[in-house]
Structure 1
């Protein structure tokens, strides 16, 4: 059997009490707890050994397997040695359901040496499917459970007589649900018939499949969390665009959280702001009336009205000195361009000096004479 080191806590066996007063109930409880602490305390200081390690081999060699232990003898605590109970499984993502199953196997009989068999990756992937943890990770997870006394690596999917005799197994612990294979309907049926099977209860609401389904359901959440912790897109097996999208979502969530905190802080100061507004509301109203009272609004409207009228009907261009239009025809020095169109310009040359329409040349004729007599009106327009 596995040797477990022990130590004793040294605590005084008596407590000196004053004669002037009696001991209270709390002091009685303290005295009893000190008496209990005097008992040897077992402390587990190392993990469970593997079946091929010296400690497990030594324990197995000292076991007298020639005398079979029946269920009634083991249940009544009359077994001459520790009862060797074997429990097997995959134990992927080791959780409290696994731990409770091993706890039940450990407590089936008063004195149990618990052996746990774990299947390797090749067998598990062929029989059940891909696991999250590797075989070495599963071995290490189970061997650090305090209910386990020994670990069997590369455990078989179906137990046979040679395996049971090699590890000197007295009973096999597993849940009572039939596990069928291609060859039989229940791999534990032969051991149930021999009376070497003890049933454990499954923990409802927790299983490896449930945990995997939970991870798949919240996939985006876990990817965002791991990216924020420094994992790369290659580590998480996601594309470059997905990584950028998820990082943007992280930033949006951060901004949302900051905005929520700001709104909450404003809500806390809301009452103070309302109280200050009520105190200064009269001053605010008076200042508003001074700036935008009735007289002030009237002045603003008159000024705006004049500007609007000037914009809609701008004044005309001023007349030049010597214009043919008299000042009486203009308004305030300006005349309306639409009412008084510009004057027509008179021709400088006589009609005889211009070429005919059939002529290709647009210049003057050689024998044409220029009329140098101009009228006074024409000089004004030059």
Structure 2
């Protein structure tokens, strides 16, 4: 859960009312009902990162009931360590808003003295176990480790020096970025020539980004056209198969059109072979008064005198001879 920012030492009255008795490790780990275990952790905490937070988390969780005091200093840091990126006030505020910190001690000493530990009633000091050589000493925590020291573990892969190394290594990239965001060359301590070079590189990068954007849009457009064309081809194939099927069903060898044609041709042939009879009650055809009936033609003699067909060969020859005699008579 979120808590209020940690207090500064001058603003608190956290001094114990009862006489302060040093606690042993066993007592601290078991837990004391009357007061929390006062643990002190110091450091530079420049560019406050997850490694700092994890170290403070370990110090806070050393014992069941812990009151964590964190010390920091700017003047002594610049003297013994070097220049910092963040100011003293910025580092104090970063520590105050860490959830594991209960109190922030400003202008903390570089080397912890017995008077300082007694003044703030500190039971244990938490720091990593690696020897810290500084201020002419091989390990500034050597005298503390013999009495009231509790080690914590460093977080590998992250440190203030690593972050600064990244910035120095990629200086041109960050300088170009800040120029693009509106910082001046004077604020970045960049020469006139480098400023022009960085601005030209920024313009080239913008052009590359535009070209990349156009390429992505064109690829997307081509992909959409391919999808549409594939859909159209698929629909055309489906429609063509449907059209061919309908055509074969209508005009194929056993199609509907052949059956209709055969039925129609059959009906037409039947009408031609057996036309309809005229109705029996139709009126008789009358002669026109202007046209007189033609006189009947006189019967021919040889039609009336035509003998019946003979029933034998002899009769047939006799009839032929009689027909020839009659013709001669007629002539």
Distance 1:108 1:182 in 2: 29
Match of 1:330?
none
Moved over 3 A (4+): 181-184, 273-276
Structure 2 residue 86 is the aligned partner of structure 1 residue 133: yes
How many residues are paired up? 229
Which of 75, 88, 92 pairs up with 2:29? 75
Shift of 1:274: 11
Where do 1:189-228 residues align within 5 Å?
189-194=142-147, 196-228=148-180
TM-score, normalization by structure 2: 0.65
User: Measured at CA, do residues 73 and 256 of structure 1 come closer, stay the same or move farther in structure 2, by a change above 3 Å?
Assistant: same
Structure 2 residue 207 is the aligned partner of structure 1 residue 255: yes
Structure 2 residue 31 is the aligned partner of structure 1 residue 47: no
Structure 1: stretches of 5+ with no match in the other structure: 1-41, 280-382
Q: Which has the higher contact order (CA 8 A, sep 6+)?
A: 2
Shift of 1:275: 8.6
Shift of 1:187: 1.7
Structure 2 residue 125 is the aligned partner of structure 1 residue 167: no
SS of residue paired to 1:125: helix
Shift of 1:242: 1.5
- Note if contact 1:47-1:144 (Cα within 8 Å) is conserved in structure 2: yes
Shift of 1:273: 7.0
Distance 1:202 1:274 in 2: 56
Distance 2:144 2:129 in 1: 12
Distance 1:86 1:259 in 2: 57
Distance 2:16 2:135 in 1: 36
Shift of 1:78: 3.4
Which of 108, 117, 120 pairs up with 2:62? 108
Match of 1:340?
none
TM-score, normalization by structure 1: 0.57
- Note if contact 2:44-2:73 (Cα within 8 Å) is conserved in structure 1: yes
Structure 2: stretches of 5+ with no match in the other structure: 233-331
Match of 1:265?
217
Which of 29, 42, 46 pairs up with 1:88? 42
SS of residue paired to 2:167: helix
Give the RMSD, CA atoms, in angstroms.
Answer: 2.0
Match of 1:345?
none
Shift of 1:79: 5.3
Distance 1:274 1:83 in 2: 70
Query: Deviation per CA, 1:325-353, whole angstroms, max 9, x where unpaired?
Result: xxxxxxxxxxxxxxxxxxxxxxxxxxxxx
Larger Rg: 2
Q: Which has the higher helix share?
A: 2
Which of 56, 59, 74 pairs up with 2:14? 59
